[in-house]
């Protein structure tokens, strides 16, 4: 499971012009599910995201987590995070999980974060979405449940 985590002042996701998820200060997480991922990947990544110390403390140092600041989280599915463009010009998505499996694990990830007491908004799985955000910092972190990077 891969995630692009962005610290935001605000973010929203729309489908066919209608906003389906909107948050204030917190994190926008673009989430891709890999073939072979399981519940442990979702649980691990949810805990990692919620506890990343990327919010400023009183001294202006990134020392607080989303849980510490009671921030919100917007989770948007993005299978293209599993794209492999090492050969040629057209990415291969063979490493992405099949849609049914990906949806189940995407929903599990969101449920795990909710279970930590955070407000979670989501996009619509397998939809074309417009994502808008105000990146704060900017702060952008790449995560992989298999620790590929």
What is d(CA 16, CA 39) in angstroms, rounded to the nearest whole number?
Answer: 31
How many Å from the N-terminal Cα to the C-terminal Cα in the chain? Answer: 12
- Sign of the CA dihedral with 131 first, then 136, 139, and 144 last: negative
What is the value of pTM for the model shown?
0.96
1-17 pLDDT tens trace: 999 999 999 999 999 99
Closest CA to 32 of 3, 7, 6: 3
How far apart, in Å, are the Cα atoms of 61 and each of 39, 48, 65? 33, 19, 12
130-148 pLDDT tens trace: 999 999 999 999 999 988 8
pLDDT confidence of 68, banded at 50, 70, 90?
very high
Task: Give the residue extent of every domain in the chain.
Answer: 2-144
Beta strands 62-64 and 129-144: pairing type? unpaired
- Give the number of other CB atoms < 10 A from CB of residue 82: 21
CATH class of 2-144: alpha beta
What is d(CA 129, CA 79) in angstroms, rounded to the nearest whole number?
Answer: 13
């Amino acid at each position: 499971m891969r995630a692009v985590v962005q610290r935001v002042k605000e973010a929203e996701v729309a489908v066919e012009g209608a906003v389906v998820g909107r948050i204030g200060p917190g994190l926008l997480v673009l989430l891709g599910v890999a073939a072979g991922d399981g519940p442990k990947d979702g649980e691990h990544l949810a805990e990692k995201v919620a506890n990343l110390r990327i919010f400023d403390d009183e001294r202006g140092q990134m020392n607080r987590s989303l849980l510490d600041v009671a921030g919100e989280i917007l989770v948007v599915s993005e299978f293209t995070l599993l794209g492999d463009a090492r050969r040629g010009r057209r990415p291969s998505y063979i490493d992405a999980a099949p849609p049914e499996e990906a949806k189940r694990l995407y929903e599990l990830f969101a449920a795990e974060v909710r279970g930590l007491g955070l407000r979670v908004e989501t996009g619509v799985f397998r939809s074309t979405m417009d994502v808008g955000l105000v990146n704060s910092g900017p702060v952008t972190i790449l995560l992989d449940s298999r620790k590929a990077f």
